Amino acid sequence: MPWLQRQIALSARPRGCHLITRDLLAALPEISQFKIGMLQVFIQHTSASLTINENADGDVRRDLEMSLNRLAPEDLPYVHSLEGPDDMPAHVKAALMGSSVTIPISGGQLALGTWQGIYLCEHRNKGGNRKVVLTVWGETE
């Protein structure tokens, strides 16, 4: 079974939830060679996260951000506050959302559902570039 691993840097994005499916596929054209397999996407940061969710309606992304802000507001009396008021809430949101997603590969394509996309959830006001490790394993054609 072949393995492929690549680290990429996603450009800085504003706070919020951003579809990155196309960015990931552009970085891994070799996926088309896998008849069956898995893609694991792992973010190397503690103040941003990854998730799979609705990919069509932009209101979903805005509503996710609003919901996360209510779950981890900036005005709580956090002890960890040296890096600014958005830092600790970002850690809480990242812990809730997770640092990786795994997607099956079928017939050279990600086996996402019709309305599913991979999101980078940026929880900082100015998070900067984000490093992501992409690992593919499976059977090639």
CATH of the domain at 95: 2.60.120.460
Residue 27: phi and psi, rounded to 5, are -80, -15
Give me the percent of the chain exceeding a pLDDT of 70: 99
Smallest Cα–Cα separation from 122: which of 7, 14, 11, 9? 14
Q: Please compute, for residue 132, the number of CA atoms within 13 A of its CA located in the half-sphere on the CB side.
A: 32
Domain count within the chain: 1
Instruction: Check if the beta carbon of residue 16 is closer than 8 Å to that of residue 65.
Output: yes
Q: What is the DSSP string of 67-130?
A: HHHHHS-TTS--S--TT-TTHHHHHHHHHHH-SEEEEEEETTEE---TTEEEEEEE-STT---E
Give the residue numbers spanning the domain of 113.
3-140
Which tens digit of pLDDT belongs to each residue from 83-125? 999 999 999 999 999 999 999 999 999 999 999 999 999 999 9
Position 124 scores a pLDDT of 97
Position 141 scores a pLDDT of 77
Decide: residue 37, CB within 10 A, 0-12 exposed, 13-18 middle, 19+ buried.
Answer: buried
Structure-block tokens of residue 25:
């596929």
Q: How far apart are CA 104 and CA 109, in angstroms?
A: 9
